Amino acid sequence: MLLETQQLEIISVNIWSILISLANLVIIFLLLKKLLFKPVKKTLAARQAQVDKIYDDAAAAKQTAEADRAEYEQKLADVKAEAEEILTDARERADRMSEEIIGDAKDKAQAKLERAEEEIAQEKKKAMTELKDDVSALSVDIAEKLLGREIDEKDHAELIDKFISEVDDNGK
């Protein structure tokens, strides 16, 4: 029987021992929870907050960069439009100036042409007058030689008028 009691003692379950082991386990769990799990959770939460902050900062930087890019593109478009407007204005001014210069040159050329025509007309009149004087003097000389007498003013005027009318008729 002794052997049997010894075997039973080895196999037997001691409730006090189980309760003490369970109490030890609960105490160790609570200690570990208070001393180990809470600080680890705090550290993980702090790291998660840092990571979230980094992501938020990155998103904000991305939004800022996109806003800056949009602003840059808008300014670039405005500058291109302004440059195009300046070029258009410059072309228009150049066209106007060239038209003015051409118009002035045409006006000056027309004025010179008119002046030249007037000078030609004056020279023609002068030449005709000189020619009339020469012809009248020559005709008086010829008439004196042919008639053998001197011609007075009245005869002289008649001869000149007759000669001029004949020259005008032949010239036309």
pTM of the model: 0.40
Contact between 159 and 151 under an 8 Å Cβ cutoff? The reply is yes
Q: How far apart are CA 136 and CA 128, in angstroms?
A: 12
What does the domain layout of the chain look like in residue ranges? 25-171
**pLDDT tens, per residue, the chain with 172 residues:** 555 555 555 666 678 888 999 999 999 999 988 888 888 889 999 999 999 999 999 999 999 999 999 999 999 999 999 999 999 999 999 999 999 999 998 899 999 989 988 999 888 888 888 877 777 777 766 666 666 556 677 777 777 777 777 766 765 5
User: Residue holding tokens 């930087």?
Assistant: 61
How distant, in Å, are the alpha carbons of 143, 144, 157, 163, 166 from that of 147? 6, 5, 16, 17, 21
